[in-house]
Amino acid sequence: MRINKALFTYHAIQLRQSPATGVFLTCGWAAGVLLTFVVGQLFAANRAELTSLFTYLPWVMAVLIPTLAMPAATEARRGITERLATLPFTPLQRMFSRFIVLWALLGIWVLGFWPLVATLYYLGSPDTGPMLTGLFGTWLLAAPLLALSLIICLRAKSGVGGLLGAMAACAGLLALGTTTVGGWFAAVPGFGWLPSTAQATLLGAYQPFTVGLLNVSAIFFLTGATLFIIGLGSSSRRTRPQLPVTISGAVLLLIALIPSLSWWQIDTTADALHTPSPQSLEILRNLPSPVTYTLHVSQNNPDVPPSVLAAVSNMKTLLLHLRTMAPGKVQVKLSNADSSIAAAVIALQAGATEQPLPTGTTYFAALTAQVAENIATMPVITAERQPVQEYDLLTLTLKAQNQTPPHITVIAEDTAPTAWQNALGNSFTFSTVSAQQNLSEIPTNTAMVILPDNAVLPADTYQAVQTYLGGGGNLVVFANPLQPAAEDDTRPTKLLQNLGIIVPSNTIVADPSLATLAQQGNSGNTAYPYWLTLTQANVNLQLPFTLGASRVFMPQTAGVTTSPTQLPPHLTFSPILTTSAQGRVVGLEAYRTTPPSLATASLPAAAGPQVIAAMVSGALDPSATSTANAVVFGSTEWLTDASIAQAPANLTLFTNLLHYLSGQGALTSLRAKGATPRTLTKIESMANTIARQTAQTEQKIATRLNEVTLTLNNNPDNLASAQEEEFTLRQQLREVRQQTRHRLQSLENGLLLLNLALMPTLTGVLFFLQRRRQRKQAMSSQ
């Protein structure tokens, strides 16, 4: 199969001279940009990625590619078919030459989305790999759709008939890869196997490219489908079938369906999100017995949320990768819980949880791991846990291996389980002891002791903790700056002084540059400098457990200090969280008596960066066999439900710390893998800046509004003027809030218009220069 140069040149000239080419490119670019910005809500999603674009592009192509192939339907009427038939070209050459020209144009169209890529780089720090593979996959997906459209249009009796038929065929082929259509077919008796073949569809083959994978089987499938369609479509009643091309396409399709080939791929993501980490492989290869993973999934229910199906698909891909890379140690089974009542019963017996749906139906999405006779179950696979699925999988494996989770002793005033204890219950074993209870010693199986409320300890318990730490134990303390200290205090912060860690009492740390916006009733928002929102610039990323701590919220925190004279020489002091250079240390009395609206204005002068969380490591006792670690956080409120909701990275940081201290450093790196989302940092920075400026303006207006209201209540004689001023102030307050939204909306609209106009304008300029050059050549030849 060779490209005839004359035919290629003929079709290229026809395409270049056709005004429909520019219309096609402009409509295609406009559709992609509008769907990404408007329907995909690029700004609202706050993700520096082109996932929304790749979600809609296949359907855009299902509409636009038939219009590109439509002129082929009118060639017979214009006499072009008869003219080409008299030339020494085979039907395959005519078909393939036209296909290559149009496919090259589609490549130009795909490359024309570079302004979107540039926009993401302007707004944030996107991962380049998934964007490039997604665009490459889009071009490959266009090939079978183009081949099918050409075949239908060449055989159509009219241009409109060819256009509608090609659109329907392209949309139908794409729809076969959707979960909805798969669920419909699965409900038909005898078609229960169909959902498991979703990868053998155009959309199924396209999906790996959108997440940053260059998958060999996907490339073979799309290429084979294209060759198969071209080979079949180039034959007619008068000509023999193009067997070499058809057979080549069929062979590639069959090769693409080989299961082992589907895991030959290149992971182009910056964090290797789709490649099992070395820590996972080491754990699996060191297992004394092979582990058998069984996925219990409802495959025949079309109502299962797409996000859940994506999470299940990602888990299945991870399992098959592990099976390939740890041969003999991993076995994978897939059980369709909808195939029979027996399959559903088996899922329930394994510990799977039946999940209800709004439609009244239920579904299963669970995973079990079996090592020898021990079975551990993940009752439900959720979309929220997809970023840390590898971590969850290894945790499940260790549980199936009958390894006891690290034991943590919590000494607190309130023995009720906290939110963070419930969240970490699958990874650790917690035993909570009342702070009023006397402990003669810490249990020997304790991996660490946590003191979450800085409560006063009985003398025996205080001594037990001190002895445990001196023997190489791990201690985590949450300090409370609102607690006054006494000389005979037996709080943990007193114990930390022996390690050179000083948590000053009666003081609290403030930082106006890290202030968190707080709602102050009718007074609007105010930037509260005692609630600190820290970014990666304030986190010590040199510590192994701080990976993934992208945004930490520390409300009402104390400072953590030390000095060379206070720190014993055999200990190492490592800051974990530090404020900016605008940090201040404020007295407790001033903090309590200052209203939030005046908190920033009444702050003292900046005192430089303040450490608000730190760790001290070293051997406290020369006879100790292990290194002791003492970690202190300056706030007792940073792991409450409200704080975790404000900044989920709080729980990530704490979980990583617990794994690190309990000797499970490998799981720490797994949790951090892909845990930091790539967001639109410029938008976030701009929104925070605008919000702070708006909060200051709102506060001034609100303060004046309160004064006017007070005057109105105390002096009814000035009722008219006070009401008029009150109305004016409230109108100003509304206008300030509207301006905040308007500034961000203006940026979004400006970028949208730029993306819409840039490529059509450049294309128009190139066409104009091309026509001008042709006219000059024609005039010079005369």
Give residue 524's pLDDT. 57
Q: Is 694 a member of any domain?
A: yes
Q: Looking at the predicted structure, is the pLDDT value of residue 240 above 50? A: yes
Q: Is 132 a member of any domain?
A: yes
Q: Is 273 a member of any domain?
A: no
CA distances from 173 to 200, 221, 259, 592 (A): 11, 14, 22, 67
pTM for the model: 0.75
Q: Summarize pLDDT for 522-555 with one digit per residue, the tens.
A: 555 677 889 999 988 899 988 988 877 888 999 9
Task: Write down which residue in 246, 267, 288 finishes a domain.
Answer: 267
Q: Summarize pLDDT for 60-108 with one digit per residue, the tens.
A: 999 999 998 888 766 655 556 556 655 556 666 777 888 898 999 999 9
Q: What is the mean pLDDT of residues 365-394?
A: 88
* Residue of 709 and 606 predicted with greater confidence: 606
Q: Any idea what DSSP says for residue 618?
A: E
What is the dihedral sign for C-alpha 13, 18, 22, 25?
negative
Q: Summarize pLDDT for 477-504 with one digit per residue, the tens.
A: 998 888 766 555 677 877 888 788 888 8
* Whether 457 and 532 share a structural domain: yes
pLDDT confidence band for 705 (50 / 70 / 90): low
* Whether 733 and 610 share a structural domain: no
Amino acid at site 687: A
* Whether 686 and 605 share a structural domain: no
* Whether 327 and 384 share a structural domain: yes
Q: Which residue from 32, 26, 23, 28 is spatially nearest to 56, judged by alpha carbons?
A: 32
Q: Is 668 a member of any domain?
A: no
How many Å apart are CA 582 and CA 610, to the nearest integer? 9
* Residue of 321 and 83 predicted with greater confidence: 321
Task: Write down which residue in 239, 267, 295 finishes a domain.
Answer: 267
Q: What is the mean pLDDT of residues 691-716?
A: 65
Residue 48, SS3?
coil
| 8 Å CB contact between 632 and 557 | no
Give residue 360's pLDDT. 85
Q: Is 357 a member of any domain?
A: yes
The encoded tokens of residue 284 equal 């699996």
* Whether 259 and 135 share a structural domain: yes
Q: Is 672 a member of any domain?
A: no
Give residue 196's pLDDT. 46
* Whether 485 and 382 share a structural domain: no
pLDDT confidence band for 469 (50 / 70 / 90): confident
* Whether 263 and 190 share a structural domain: yes
Percent of the chain whose pLDDT exceeds 90: 25
- φ and ψ of 587, to 5 deg: -65, 150
* Whether 550 and 426 share a structural domain: yes
Domain count of the fold of the chain? 4
Q: Summarize pLDDT for 346-359 with one digit per residue, the tens.
A: 999 989 999 998 88
**Crossing angle for the helix pair 19-34 and 91-111, nearest 10 degrees?**
50
* Residue of 264 and 423 predicted with greater confidence: 423
How many Å apart are CA 109 and CA 58, to the nearest integer? 13
* Whether 218 and 326 share a structural domain: no
Percent of the chain whose pLDDT exceeds 70: 83
* Whether 111 and 250 share a structural domain: yes
Domain that holds residue 246: 5-267
DSSP string computed for 481-528: TTSPP-TT--SHHHHHGGGT-B--TTEEEE-GGGEEEEE-GGG-EEEE
Residue 333, SS3?
strand
* Whether 236 and 348 share a structural domain: no
The encoded tokens of residue 367 equal 């995973």
Q: Summarize pLDDT for 642-674 with one digit per residue, the tens.
A: 898 888 889 989 999 999 998 887 777 777 676
Q: Is 674 a member of any domain?
A: no
Q: Is 669 a member of any domain?
A: no
Give residue 716's pLDDT. 61
Q: What is the mean pLDDT of residues 468-483?
A: 87
CATH of the domain at 506: 3.40.50
Mean pLDDT of the chain: 82
Give residue 570's pLDDT. 80
Q: Which residue from 331, 357, 334 is spatially nearest to 346, judged by alpha carbons?
A: 334
Q: Name the helix (H) or strand (E) containing 430.
A: strand 429-434
Bridge partners of residue 362, in order along the sequence: 356
* Whether 751 and 714 share a structural domain: yes
Task: Write down which residue in 267, 299, 324 finishes a domain.
Answer: 267
Residue 572, SS3?
strand
Highest mean pLDDT (candidates 231-235, 315-319, 367-371): 367-371
Pairing of β 213-215 and β 265-267:
antiparallel
Segment among 114-128, 300-314, 581-595, 713-727 with least mean pLDDT: 713-727
Bridge partners of residue 444, in order along the sequence: none
Q: Which residue from 99, 77, 222 is spatially nearest to 151, judged by alpha carbons?
A: 99
C-alpha radius of gyration, the chain, whole number: 33
CATH of the domain at 300: 3.40.30.10
Q: What is the mean pLDDT of residues 603-626?
A: 82
